[in-house]
Every structure is written in C-alpha cells, then in structure tokens.
Amino acid sequence: MLSKNTVKFIKSLHQKKYRISSQRFFVEGEKSVLEVLHSNFLVETLFATTQFLEKHEGMLSRMNLEIQEASQKQLEAMGFYQSNDMALALVKMKENLPIIPEKGDWVVALDDVRDPGNLGTIIRIADWYGIRKLFFSNQTADFYNPKVIQASMGSFCRVDFSYGDLFSWIKNYEGPIYGAFMDGENIHGFQEIKAGVLVMGNESNGVSKEIESLVTQKLAIPSFGQAESLNVAIATAILCDNLKRLEKH
C-alpha cells in the first residue's frame, strides 16, 4: 500500500527544485524502467503493477531493490504521463562529473537548448550515432525533467553528460569546434572531417556570440526550398549523420 507521503514526494519531483533538493528523479513506463534498471543509475524504489512484477520476476529477484506494488491508477497519479500502466522507478541523480573527451571522441555541446522535448530527442540522436559525451550549458533544459527522460526513449541511460559554463569548457578543449550556423559552410561540400565538439544553439537565437567566437568551423545544412529554419533536434540529427559519414579514422 502506497502512503500519501510517497505519492506526494514522487509528484514533487515533477518540479526541478524538488529534484535538486532531493537529488532524485523518476522514470516511468515499462520500457524506460527496464532500461534504467539495467543501467549504471541507482534505482532506489520500483513502483510497479502486479502484472509487471510477475512478468519480470526472475530479473527483479536478482536485484537489490525496494519494490512497492502499485495500481495503474496510482502510477498515473504519481507520474507525468497518463499512459503509464506498468512501472515507475525512483532513481538517484548522478554526480555532475566533468566530461573529458579522448582523441577521436565526438561531443555534442548544447548552448541553451531550452525545450525538454528537444533535449530528450537530441540525447536519443546522440546515442544513435554513438556519441556518448554531452556537455550542457547551465541554461539548457534539465536532463532529469520527465519530458526529457520520455523523449530520450531510454537513451538517457547510455550517455555521459555534464552541466557547466560552456564558454570555459570549450576554451579548454583543444580539438576542432564545429557549430551549426545559417551562414556556415555547406556540410555536403566536405570530404573528410575530424572528430570534435558539435555546438548546437538555442531554439530562437542559435549559438550565442560568445560561443561563436570559439567555433573553429561553422557548418550549415543546405536548403533546397523555402523553409526558414529547421528545429534544433532535426538539425542535430542531420549534422551528426553527416559528421559520422565524413569521419575518417
């Protein structure tokens, strides 16, 4: 039986300030919960329906985990999405450790990407392209926002990330720094490219002037029609696809 206080606590985690003060977040939905259980995140409590617990009994019995049975209605009341019919995991946030790229590593760096849906989608794209290191400016959306977790489709478990001052971080980085700009060089014209940092800018303003001054190669996605721009997650996908295609080892 779930206590009122438990429900209240999980619901408080919809808000960033309570996530920060408790250093906890939650993951909902069968697929994402299974991913987080098998990741290097520490799951403290699993709230799940009888159905979920029976289905995954063997796997769960091998885990050191507090389990609380909950009805679908209770899960939906605690979570963010209304179609969570299986499980919700209470998870400990990771420490904000520095991202240290090695030679040959790609890093996606976000300069104030504010929309949680965009951030989650970018995490999924980075994971698809095998880019495991992400750096987020302090004004970027919160990684632990339920919308980010949901949009990442489990990829939040497979990336390393760090929040911090993007300007200082890039200043200390020694490899090539690529950035997405409307007036950049056409990415289709490149023959080869070396791994480095790809900076993607804010939804309305793009890459800031300050960060722009550190970019060593501006890149543009060629347009063949009349749309004025592309969404930042779409642009990230197209650039990652080109960069991985052009990368020589």
Q: What residue ranges bind a copy of itself (CB under 8 A)?
A: 121, 124-132, 153-155, 158, 188, 221-231, 233-234, 237-238, 241-242, 244-245
Question: CB of 222: closest distance to a copy of itself in angstroms?
Answer: 7
Question: CB of 230: closest distance to a copy of itself in angstroms?
Answer: 6
Nearer to a copy of itself, 93 or 238 (CB): 238
Nearer to a copy of itself, 125 or 141 (CB): 125
Question: CB of 236: closest distance to a copy of itself in angstroms?
Answer: 9
Question: CB of 5: closest distance to a copy of itself in angstroms?
Answer: 33
The CA–CA distances, whole Å, from 56 to 62, 70, 149 equal 11, 15, 22
Nearer to a copy of itself, 57 or 183 (CB): 183
Strands 87-92, 43-48: parallel, antiparallel or unpaired by DSSP? antiparallel
Nearer to a copy of itself, 57 or 189 (CB): 189
Task: Concatenate the DSSP letters of all residues of the chain into one string.
Answer: ---HHHHHHHHHTTSHHHHHHHTEEEEESHHHHHHHHTSSS-EEEEEE-HHHHHHTHHHHHTS--EEEE--HHHHHHHSS-TT--SEEEEEEPPP-PPP-PPTT--EEEESS---HHHHHHHHHHHHHTT--EEEEETTSPPTTSHHHHHHTTTGGGG-EEEEE-HHHHHHT--S-EEEEEEEEEEGGG-S-B---EEEE-BTTTBS-HHHHTT-SEEEE---SSS-----HHHHHHHHHHHHHHHB--
Tokens of 62: 């091998």
Question: CB of 120: closest distance to a copy of itself in angstroms?
Answer: 10
Nearer to a copy of itself, 65 or 220 (CB): 220
Nearer to a copy of itself, 120 or 179 (CB): 120
Question: CB of 244: closest distance to a copy of itself in angstroms?
Answer: 6
